[in-house]
Structure formats: C-alpha cells, structure tokens
Structure 1
Amino acid sequence: MSADRTGRTGATEDAAGAVGFGDVFAAELAKIRTLPVTWVALAVASAANALLGVLAATDAVRIAGQDGQIAVGRLGTLVVSPVYVFVAIAVHAAGGEYRAGQLRVTLAAVPDRNRLFTAKLAATAATGLLAAIPAVLPGHLVGHAPAITGGHLGIGAAAVGLAAVLGAYLLLSLIGHGFAVIARGVVTPLAVLLVTPVLISPALRGALPDLVRFLPHEATLSLLDTAGDPGAALGRAGGLLVLTAWAGLSVGGAWLVFARRDV
C-alpha cells in the first residue's frame, strides 16, 4: 500500500481495501475523547462561562473604565476569554500528534493524506460544535435570564446570541486546528491566540484601528456584539464573515502543508 504526499492512492490500494473515511473519522473522534486536555478545557471553559454568567446576571461586580463603571457583560474580551481555553481541545487534537513521531504511525495506517486531514478536520469541527454547547449554554442562560424574564430581551434575540457564541467557538477552534498543523505543535498556536487579544490588539488599536478590527479576536467581539468601540465594530454579519475567512485561510493553509510537507 502506498501513497504520495498529495494523498493520491493507487488502484492497488483501492483493490486491497483502503481504510474508509468513516473509520478514520471515528478513530479521530476517539483520539480527541481520550485526550485529558479535552475534558480539562471543557470543564474550565464551562465553569468560567457559568461564573461570568452569574456576575452578569447579578451585576454584583463592575470594572472601572474610562467612562465609569462597566458591567461584566459588556467587557467583550473578558466575556470571550473562556474560548481560548476551549480552543486548546482543537489545538491539541491537531498538533499533539507531532510529538514523538505519532503522526508517522497514523500515516502508516492511513497513507491518504487528504482523507486523513479531512477526517481530522471533521472530528475537530464536530467536537468543537458539540462540546461548545455544555461549555456555553449554562452560563449563557444564567447571564441572560434577568433580561429575558424582565422583558428586555426576546427569546429570538437570545437564541441569535447563543448561535453567535457557538459559531465563534467553532470557528476559533478551526483556526486553532489549522494553526497547530502549520506550526506542527501546540505551544505556538496557543501562545499566539492568547497573546493577540491581550497584547497585540491593544498595542495596535490606537495606530491601526482599521486593521485591528479585522483580527480574529476583534471579529469575534463584533460577532458577539461586545466590541469595546461600537464605531469600529463590524457588526454581527461582518464579524461572522471575517472570522469565517480566517478559519478558511487557516484550514486551507494547513491542508496544503499537511499534504505536501514531510512529517
């Protein structure tokens, strides 16, 4: 059984019975489920979102800002911060196999690189979407309950907000997945994803505001309608479009690298 770097397989492999996509997908899902970081990241993100939801609902804590006291629910970077713990699931799923030559073993079992990459990506996307529900839903419900019961927020608007959060978690997971493949590890992607909203965006916001709002973190804030500067926000649709473009670029670059680069 043989395959070239682009993932093409010959007729001999097909006749012998190549490993089907469903089998590879199931195996990749099993790998993600057995990673300790999957459950740790899910628990931490869920707990953090629940805590932020309680703080937003009770309005017990406010943060001092330039324009006075700011409610926790309006601090976009703080509200979004649990996603960067959650993204560790995708980053470890994609980048963890580069340690100690584990990917070589996987490629020996599934030589078709295109099929393997697609299965890995599909497993990350499925896990990201399904795991985001318990990570996000409790905190989202708690945080918006007072506004819903008080008649200030409709069920439809709350559902749109929840869908936006789930979409952000999925798209940032795909960005992390692609970045981990390109970087062939987990440290660099996690470091960049964490440093960008804390250091890079604030440092560039004053000098290059039109550029900063197109970074993944700022696009996420626009998608969730929690941008610090409403005048620089892209809007929900704009944020979704930009974040989707980043995910496409990250995944596309990772696919190209995975198909053609030596392990």
Structure 2
Amino acid sequence: MKLDRAVRVTPPVIRRRDLVTAEVTKILTHPATPFAIVVTLLLNTTLGVIHATDLVRLGVGPRPTPLSELGTLMFVPVYVFLVLPIYAAGSEYLSGQIRVTLASTPNRVTLALAKLAALLAVTVPGALLVLLPERLTITIADGTDAGGILLDLGRWVAAYTLMALVAYGLAGLLRSTIAPLTILVLVPVPVATGVFQLPEVIRLLPDQLSLSMLGTPGYAVTELPPMLAGAALTTWALLLAAANGLALVRRDS
C-alpha cells in the first residue's frame, strides 16, 4: 500500500515591485488624492494668473507688491497638497487596513521602503502637475529664460516633495490624519502673527526653511541661504520619513 506523499506548497514570492504597485494603487484610489491634486492645482493656477495679469498688488512695504514676491502667500496651497501624503500614511490606521497590510507582508523593512517609494512615485509627478501651470505663467510673464524657468520649477517641486515627506513622517508617527495636518497648518499662524519672537528657532521650521529655499523668506530675521535652507529641510524630511519607517517596523509589528 502506497502512502500519498504530502504536497509541499511553496508560498508565493512577494516582489518589491508588486508591493510598490499595490501601495501606489492605494494612494491613487483614495479620495484624498484627487481632492489634494485638483484643489492645489486650481489655487496655484489662480495665483499665477493674478500675478501675470498684475490685477492685484498688496500694500506691503513702501510699494505695492506683486503676489509672487509674497512667498508666504504663494506657498499656502502646499497645505492642501499635504493632504495627499498625510492620508497616504495615516488613513490605514484610521480604517484598520494597516492590520491587513502587515499580515500580508512579513518583511516590514521591505514594506516600509515600498510605502516610501510609492509616496515619492505619486508625490513628485503630482507636485509637478500642480505647479507647472502657475510657475510657467509667472516666469514667462516675468521674462525668465529657459534655464531660469527650469530652476524655478525644480526648486518648487523639491519644496513640495520635501514638505510631503515631512507630513508623511508625522502622519505615520502619530497614526492620524487630523493631528499632523493641524500641526502643519497651525504652527505657521503664531509665526505670522508675531506671537513667537524666537527667530533662531522659527527659521528652522519646515515651512520657513521652504520659503528660504525658494528665495522668498517669510521674514528678514528668519532668512537662511537657499542652499543651507534646502539642506536643513532635507534633513527634516529624511529624519521624519526614517522615524515613520522605524515605527512601522518596530511599533506596528
């Protein structure tokens, strides 16, 4: 009498490409993503048209000031854009989907890297999309040459991307969609109103670093050289993204 041999079932191999694709699909199909893209695009385009037509100037300083010179105002739409990375990191905790994701992916390090790669795969082209009409309108209206246009667009896309990484890291650490957005939106308010009088600290906040990197600092006392500001903002982004990844690997497993 022959005994049936046990059938050995080999578990399917989870490829990194498949993980990234799955995470990209999650981001793109979440309602927060089209909302962030469309609203940010509309806000930026409106600001660009207003500047190009020179219909509105604000009485800031000794002369009426074009909108494009008011970095704080021009940077406001980024806070709508940050809804995208915040929900990419925090919505799974809100819905409980994170338990399914962790159960289906034994290697937490691979999962953390896939989530980060997916975020960048959506955020970078998303930032380019929402910024391109505005920055082209402004730079062409100002007579900027082709090299200057590319440099300007590159700096703005970099600022949006780094701010997205900051927001992504906060959302993952706090396991929330409300708290990180509240922090990122409300922190600039006391700075703008002059409640905080610590320029040495204020200049190192992500939003102020972004403005300095773009060459439109919020205040003279918080200005940093663009290269230094960019390096500091990159440090913020990398540290928070790494902390989020470490939390996913250690805390959530």
TM-score by shorter chain over 0.5: yes
Contact 1:204–1:212 (CA<8 Å) still a contact in 2? no
Cα deviation 1:191-231 (Å, max 9, x = unaligned): 111112223454455x2112211110000001111113345
1:7 aligns to what? none
Match of 1:242 among 232, 239, 247: 232
2:177 aligns to what? 186
- Structure 2 distance, partners of 1:39, 1:54, is 22
1:188/1:169 Cα in 2 relative to 1: closer, same or farther (>3 Å)?
same
Figure out how many residues of one structure are paired with residues of the other and give that number. Answer: 244
SS of 2:59's equivalent?
A: strand
Amino acid at match of 1:258: L
Deviation at 1:18, TM superposition (A): 3.8
Deviation at 1:63, TM superposition (A): 1.7
Amino acid at match of 1:186: T
2:99 aligns to what? 104
Match of 1:64 among 53, 59, 65: 59
Cα deviation 1:154-212 (Å, max 9, x = unaligned): 3212211110000011111111111110000100011111112223454455x211221
1:3 aligns to what? none
- TM (norm. structure 1) is 0.88
Deviation at 1:66, TM superposition (A): 4.4
SS of 2:58's equivalent?
A: strand
Greater CA radius of gyration, 1 or 2? Answer: 2
Alignment partner of 1:196 is 2:187: yes
2:111 aligns to what? 116
- Structure 2 distance, partners of 1:182, 1:65, is 39
**Identity value in percent:** 36
Gapped regions of structure 2 (runs ≥ 5): 1-9
**Cα RMSD, aligned residues only:** 1.7
Structure 1 residue ranges (4+ consecutive) displaced by more than 4 angstroms after TM superposition: none
Cα deviation 1:22-51 (Å, max 9, x = unaligned): 111000001111011111110011111101
- Structure 2 distance, partners of 1:262, 1:146, is 50
- Tell me whether 229-238 or 34-43 shows the greater mean CA deviation: 229-238
Cα deviation 1:115-140 (Å, max 9, x = unaligned): 11111111111111011111000111
